[in-house]
Structure 1
Amino acid sequence: MLAPIARTVHRHLDVDGVRVFYRESLPDRTDAPVLLLLHGFPSGSHQFRSLMEVLGSHYRLIAPDHPGFGHTETPDGFTHSFDRLADITEGFVRRLGLDRFVMYVFDFGAPIGFRLAERHPEWIAGLVVQNGNAYEDGLSDTARGLLSLTPETPGAHDAIHAMLTLDGTRSQYETGVSSPAPIAPDGWTLDQHFLDLPGRKEAQQSLFFDYHSNVERYDDWQAWLRRHTPPTLITWGGHDPFFTEPGAHAYLRDLPDAELHLFDTGHFALETHLPEIAPLIADFLDRVWK
């Protein structure tokens, strides 16, 4: 018997002048658990397409494109900072009428999500953390070097723009992966299409220069975790060149009851380990959604 195929819709919402694109699965029950999927760099909500196909018949999965990514459109003069991306995500959640959900945070989605959690702890029914860093333990030397860049650092613009090329984008999918065969080239090809749109490289550069604001808030986010102790599932690519395995283990200092699973892969763990990760998420949603 075939498993049910998820139905997914693709829509836009206007939030403070930003035309937010999002994907939403339509589960077969009105009271289905809700999972808000916050994507990372240099991708978009399309990174969750396969996960939505697998889980979307039973759970309501919602994946927006952040400003500066994917199909979301920003007005002239929009400030690309993590605070502003969190503002738009907060407005997006309000426009959808969500008041409780499990939040999946990955890469750039983690600092956006933790800002949202600080503002509205009552919204957070649980966390799925996938290579979403909140501890200095998890910053590789490569990441520390990039995060130390400022607009005044000699060569900073060239270093950032090298990451925004097709080779740079592809490397984020393949570095740390034992075999690239499971990874479809569609992901990095689509990412690069969006990175090459007018204004997108400037938006990404602004976010890189603002990333220090996330590291400066790590202590606050760790305190939030200790205070609220959300149920947490950690699924982590152990060979991520940016956010390393110690960053996954560090969560257990503040969330000793968190469930940790490490995978023999790189940054985009869903690309290679969806069959292992999807059942973990399904089981987690069933347990925490009460």
Structure 2
Amino acid sequence: MQRRDMLKLGLGSMAALAAGWTGRAWSGGPAQAGAPLSTGALDAAAWTAARRWTQTPFGRIAHVERGAGPAALFLHGFPLNGFQWRGALERLSAHRRCIAPDMLGLGYTEVAEGQGVTPADQVRMLADLLDRLGVDSVDLVANDSGGAVAQLFAVAHPRRVRSLLLTNCDAETDCPPPALKPVIDLAREGRFATEWLAPWLADHALARSPQGLGGMTFTHPHNPTDEAIEMYLRPLVDNAARTHAYALGLDSNVLAGVEAALKQGGYPTRILWGTGDDIFSKDSPDYLAGVFGESRGVRRIDGAKLFWPEEFPDLVAEEARRLWGV
């Protein structure tokens, strides 16, 4: 069975219609426009130079900041890191103190000995990190497994959340998605990093192929770029045990029972969903839009795949500014 076919396991066809902020059809999505949008001036060298570490009981948390004022917290998915949000930070730092950490078990964060890396651990780490950075409340922006963490953070710390912008991610009704099962199974056997990630790191063309990270989760065939592949996969291959621990932390419905609390949340929430994503359920965006008490509805991006926020930062910035009222 091809890796791509394995990742499609259990998922149906993509959503067919798109909706704008007001509910009207959205037919001009970036995936239809052809070329991807620019990701701004923050290349790998600039991102690496800007990276800082904050010592916490959870480990040394790697993060990049740009801008000043009220804080916005950007949460990445698996197997990426904060570099995913470089374009969004470039565009939104004029309006917010933008903070993009690397999650425990991913990227360049150094996990403390014996520290867990489950979504619940991520929530505790983020609350502690924000305390140490002097941040009381945030606008949350999240993708993929980072979206599950964002929901758990909102449940645990509702008064610390001013707004929530969710892109393709877990929902209580689709957590973990069936497509993740092959990854979790290989991680349990200690084989995921060596059998999937290492070959992609060694052969960037393979990583961008239909059987690779790019073909499965990026909209455009030239993504991820060479430097993005190195930024994302190098630390995961070099630290396979923690990579596998992160995957295993997703092997349960970590969102079970959150619906009632999310309905009580007083923060405005906007859902942005790429319809080309065949990892998460096509039913999830409407479910999520109906869960939050202060929902601002769904915008569908026609044909965009799971990690589209990296490819279309102008769209993320547009929606974030509208949600934030700036």
Q: In structure 1, which of residues 113, 121, 127 is the aligned counterpart of residue 164 of structure 2?
A: 127
Identify which range, 248-257 or 90-99, moves more after superposition: 248-257
Out of 276, 297, 312, the residue aligned to residue 259 of structure 1 is: 297
Distance in 2, matches of 1:23 and 1:270, equals: 17
For residues 101-120 of structure 1, what are the structure 2 equivalents within 5 Å?
Answer: 101-120=138-157
Distance 2:217 2:102 in 1: 26
Match for 2:221: what amino acid?
A: P
1:49 partner amino acid: R
The aligned counterpart of 1:190 is 231
State the shift of 1:140 in Å.
Answer: 4.8
Query: 2:304 corresponds to which letter in structure 1?
Result: T
Identify the match of residue 271 of structure 1 among 296, 302, 310.
310
Q: Any conservation in 1 of the 2:58–2:125 contact (CA below 8 Å)? A: no
Kindly report structure 1 stretches of 4+ aligned residues shifted beyond 4 Å: 4-9, 137-140, 144-151
Match for 1:165: what amino acid?
A
- Could you list the runs of 5+ residues in structure 1 that have no partner in the other structure? none
What's the offset of the Cα at 1:23?
0.8
Read off the aligned partner of 1:25 and give its amino acid letter. Answer: R
The Cα offsets for residues 133-163 of structure 1, whole Å up to 9 and x where unpaired, read as: 1232476542355557894xxxx44357534
Counterpart selection for 2:72 from 23, 26, 35: 35
More relative contact order, 1 or 2 (CA 8 Å, 6+ apart): 2
Q: Please give the secondary structure, in 2, of the residue aligned with 1:260.
A: strand
Write the deviation string for residues 23-81 of structure 1: whole angstroms up to 9, x where unpaired. 11124xxxx34210111111111111111111112221111111222221123333332
- Show the counterpart of 1:239: 276
Pick the aligned partner of 1:225 from 259, 262, 268.
262
When the two chains are superposed, the root-mean-square deviation of aligned CA atoms in Å is 2.9
CA–CA separation in structure 2 for the residues paired with 1:82 and 1:139? 12
Q: Which residue of 2 aligns with 1:10?
A: 51
Question: Aligned partners of 2:308, 2:74: CA distance in 1, in Å?
Answer: 14
Please identify, of 141-150 and 273-282, the stretch whose mean Cα deviation from structure 2 is larger.
141-150
What code does the residue aligned with 2:299 have?
Answer: H
Aligned position for 1:65: 102
AA of the residue aligned to 2:81: G
TM-score in terms of structure 2 length: 0.73
Aligned-partner Cα distance in 2 for 1:177–1:92 = 30
Q: Report the 3-state secondary structure (helix = DSSP H, G, I; strand = E; otherwise coil) of the residue aligned with 2:51.
A: strand
CA distance in 1, matches of 2:199, 2:94: 34
1:210 aligned residue: 249
Structure 1 residues 77 and 218: CA distance shift in structure 2, 3 A = closer
Runs (5+) with no aligned partner, structure 2: 1-39, 202-206
Q: Secondary structure at the match of 2:263?
A: helix
Of the structure 1 ranges 250-259 and 34-43, higher mean CA displacement relative to structure 2 is found in: 250-259
- Further displaced range: 45-54 or 238-247: 238-247
CA distance in 2, matches of 1:84, 1:146: 20
State the match for 2:124 in structure 1: 87
Q: Supply the distance in 2 between the matched residues of 1:286 and 1:270 (Cα, whole angstroms).
A: 20
Contact 2:118/2:249 (8 A) holds in 1: yes
Q: Are the structure 2 counterparts of residues 210 and 183 from structure 1 closer, same or farther at C-alpha, using a change threshold of 3 Å?
A: closer
What secondary structure, in the 3-state scheme, does the structure 1 residue paired with 2:73 have? strand
**1:277 counterpart letter in structure 2:** V
